[in-house]
């Protein structure tokens, strides 16, 4: 898989990534598998990963300002 911005190779890595839900809620997903460009800051999520992320984000406590969720749980 190649980066659509710079054309460099994407590498599959496991990382922690913040998602902003609304103006005050931030979710940090731990141990998320993503494709990271080794040349620029672009990254991609697999479709199945994106779907699971959406499911996780729907299920979080939106009253909290910060939630930390382990992706692989
Ligand atoms: Zn790139």
Task: Report whether 71 contacts 46 (CB < 8 A).
Answer: no
CA of 11 to the centre of ligand 1 (A): 11
Calculate the alpha carbon distances from 61 to 16, 22, 45, 57, 72 in Å.
19, 12, 23, 9, 18
CA of 2 to the centre of ligand 1 (A): 8
CA of 13 to the centre of ligand 1 (A): 15
The topology under which CATH files domain 10-70 is: Ubiquitin-like (UB roll) (3.10.20)
pLDDT at residue number 52: 96
Task: Compute the distance between CA of residue 60 and CA of residue 53 in angstroms, rounded to an integer.
Answer: 11
CA of 65 to the centre of ligand 1 (A): 32
pLDDT at residue number 6: 98
CA of 60 to the centre of ligand 1 (A): 31
Predicted TM-score of the model (pTM): 0.83
Question: Per-residue pLDDT averaged across 59-73, rounded?
Answer: 89
pLDDT at residue number 62: 84
């Amino acid at each position: 898989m190649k980066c659509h911005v710079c054309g460099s190779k994407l590498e599959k890595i496991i990382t922690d990534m913040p998602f902003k839900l609304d103006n005050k809620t931030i979710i940090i997903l731990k141990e998320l598998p993503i494709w990271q460009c080794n040349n620029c800051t672009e990254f991609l999520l697999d479709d199945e990963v994106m779907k699971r992320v959406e499911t996780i984000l729907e299920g979080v406590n939106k009253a909290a300002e910060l939630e930390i969720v382990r992706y692989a749980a």
